[in-house]
Structure 1
């Protein structure tokens, strides 16, 4: 039954013309949000330019990368999230890859996130969780931990996805299913389907988009029942080969440099576009900037071409204005191709933007600063693409700017 539902979903997609032989282009629509953000911009050249594009025809662009699909409002890594991301013009879509007990690859942000992204705690599989649900009590928050590595693929398929959330005040597993952030929604969770990595490849291909899978760090010790880290990295690439996806359409990612170097050395065609992910860490803004060029040169010498820093590493406060950071400019000068993550994951920016904007929290004032930040990293840094939880915003900007 599940296979027929999946096939029916693909058959029902609205399409336009064929897209370079790797699928059909999904009809693209911006929706209301990009215009809303443009309207909120202060008067000036950026607002004038973006406002002049209101009547343009939306088009898919590789500059726009769907972060787990369109996770702002759709349950991440589901068929509906990927479809929504493509409909918003994302030319590249992300499946975060982890594995099950029987070493099948599935799309999950982490191997141990099932307690917040599915209904496992209120299902017959609750007893498989690594840490059972513990109710909130006094100052102790409710908690649980459930891993894909404790389930076979057959068991995984029985779960129902939901928005990534948990109610830390819950005293029951049922109440723990809540906690959805106020800027998100549960309107689009009905009938969304969990996906294997191989299924995501087929769906994304049918949508006319390309691929940026992230090999997630395992929560279990490796090797896992004989399945090594190299086996894991290779299997992810093998599933693209089995689907006849050209390496030029795939940007494999990892926070683990050893994974990236494995692809560079063992799968050189895929390794050309392997992406090394890095994120803000404590003391980043106090690091000796003289070491950055050495780090960048070392990456280049090992064959790494793409670096993907978190948004907070690319932005700085220049006398009260958003500007490109010294780190971003040094990485670009070193010849690395940069990809930024993640726009529109922070909720309303009136309160400073949280983790993703911590380097410029005193500068951002409202949601129009999403567009200001995007303009800085696109024009002043020159990134190759931008991950977003709502790809329509990046698509609109890229179409308007001719990226």
Structure 2
């Protein structure tokens, strides 16, 4: 990922489309579908809308600014081959495998070590579900008890993992049957593409991303079990094993952006795998501790301390980077300004994950909820993140939107 260079004059906007669309190794060109154009049409008349309209005819190309978050999970089951291929076709230059491990310590792509009950069909396969940490139990309206289950990758072997099919992340806590429980999909997502969802190991994702011509951003997920696992598989072993997978596949370090919410993981890579550590991404989870993006006293360690420790990339949620500006548009937060001043590259997450934005946008838009009332505000936020905050890339659940913006702005 490279720092964003603002190219906003009309002549430059038009010149970015002189080249042919980038083809992946599988021969597919970038195709964006209708959503970016739907969002653009809903923008208020003005400079941004006019600039974006100049790019309607394409052609479109891959951009590292556009990062496929778990693939393209707005409509495809996350971390599946189908989701990854969709994201690449929408121009995501970088794709994400969230990395966790099975009972036999094989690395696989799942957002959480213990999410199989909500992201796969494991509960519909009793012979495998029998291994779940918490078997399914139905809701009981009389007592107020909610349905529950907990199935972890570490509960099952790789052989069992391969027998599962990915589905849209969902569950119905009021369910009285397994069949009801595995439903509950939000109305703004779809199950149309959930009939096929091939789960992937880390090694398989590496091969696929190389085939698709995309770079890699694996996230080392927090273990859902006590570490060291079974007494001898330490956190450091886990962090090293993830990097070893890329080395074994012959993927150059400059094509890999390893991520973790655990700063100790990033520090480990910096110390032990410096080529990979140089562009490792610290996912800033300090929002869980009540961080205030306008109060530097709540950022510990400071931006300067992170930079001096060898950290080069920081990735907070969208809302930590913006506030409502005096002009009624999003503006950079104090947090965003401090990160840039310290020399940290910023990655933002996650657009297209909130459903409709007509009522403030929910969690990801909480600091600009008062000016978020239109789905097209996605493009307004992207514009501010690129021009004013200066982010290096944006995670998206539907990369076509981010790709369209990036292509138009020469990113």
Helix, strand or coil at the partner of 1:64: strand
**TM-score relative to the length of structure 1:** 0.93
Query: Match for residue 268 of structure 2?
Result: 262
**Contact 2:147-2:174 within 8 A present in 1 as well:** yes
Q: How far does residue 172 in structure 1 lie from its aligned partner after superposition?
A: 0.6
Give the corresponding residue for 2:32: 30
Q: Which moved more, 1:138-147 or 1:298-307?
A: 138-147
**1:388 and 2:396 aligned:** yes
Partner of 2:239: 233
Aligned to 1:177: 182
What's the offset of the Cα at 1:25? Answer: 6.2
| Cα distance in 1 for residues equivalent to 2:289 and 2:140 | 31
Aligned-partner Cα distance in 2 for 1:84–1:48 = 28
Corresponding residue of 1:109 = 111
> What displacement does 1:132 show?
1.3
Distance in 2 separating the partners of 1:291 and 1:357: 20
Summarize the Cα distance change of 1:294–1:217 in structure 2 as closer, same or farther, 3 Å threshold.
closer
Q: Is the 8 A contact 1:17 1:25 kept in 2?
A: no
Q: Give the one of 239, 244, 253 matched to 1:247.
A: 253
Alignment of 1:43 with 2:48, yes or no, is no
**Displacement after TM superposition at 1:351 (Å):** 1.7
**C-alpha displacement of 1:362:** 1.6
**Aligned-pair Cα RMSD in Å:** 1.7
Q: 1:261 to 1:140 in 2, by over 3 A?
A: same
Please point out which of 364, 372, 384 is paired with 2:372: 364
Q: Equivalent residue for 2:208?
A: 203
Alpha-carbon distance in 1 for matches of 2:177, 2:241: 39
Partner residue, 1:334: 342
Which one of 323, 345, 359 corresponds to residue 331 of structure 2?
A: 323
Change (3 A) 1:260 1:204: same
* 132, 136, 139: which one aligns with 2:135: 132
Q: Residue deviations 1:162-221, cap 9 Å, x none?
A: 111001211011110100111111111223200000000000100000000000000101
CA–CA separation in structure 2 for the residues paired with 1:326 and 1:286: 6
Shift of 1:141: 2.1
Q: Equivalences for 1:347-358 in 2 at 5 Å?
A: 347-358=355-366
Partner-residue secondary structure (3-state), 1:362: helix
From 276, 281, 301, the counterpart of 2:308: 301
Residues 210-261 of structure 1 deviation map (CA, whole Å, 9 limit, x = unaligned): 0000000001011112111111000100010111100000000000000000
TM-score, reference length from structure 2: 0.91
Contact 1:312 1:356 in 2 (8 A): yes
Q: Take 1:72 and 1:224, find their aligned partners in 2: how far apart are those partners? A: 33
Would the aligned equivalents of 1:66 and 1:388 in 2 still touch at CA under 8 Å? yes
Structure 2 gaps, min length 5: 1-20
SS in 1 for 2:323: strand
Counterparts of 2:293 and 2:197 in 1: how far apart (Å)?
A: 44
Kept after mapping to 2: 8 A contact 1:89/1:395: yes
Quick one: structure 1 residues 157 and 293, their matched pair in 2 at CA, closer, same or farther if it must change by over 3 Å? Answer: closer
- Aligned pairs, number: 386
Q: How does 1:88-103 map to 2 (within 5 A)?
A: 88-103=90-105
Q: Deviations over 1:286-329 (max 9, x none)?
A: 77325659611111111110000110101111243211111111
1:131-183 deviation digits (Å, cap 9, x = unpaired): 11121122332111100001010011111111110012110111101001111
Could you tell me which runs of 5 or more consecutive residues in structure 1 were left unpaired when the two chains were aligned: 1-15
| Secondary structure, aligned partner of 2:288 | coil
Report the secondary structure of 1:304's partner residue: coil
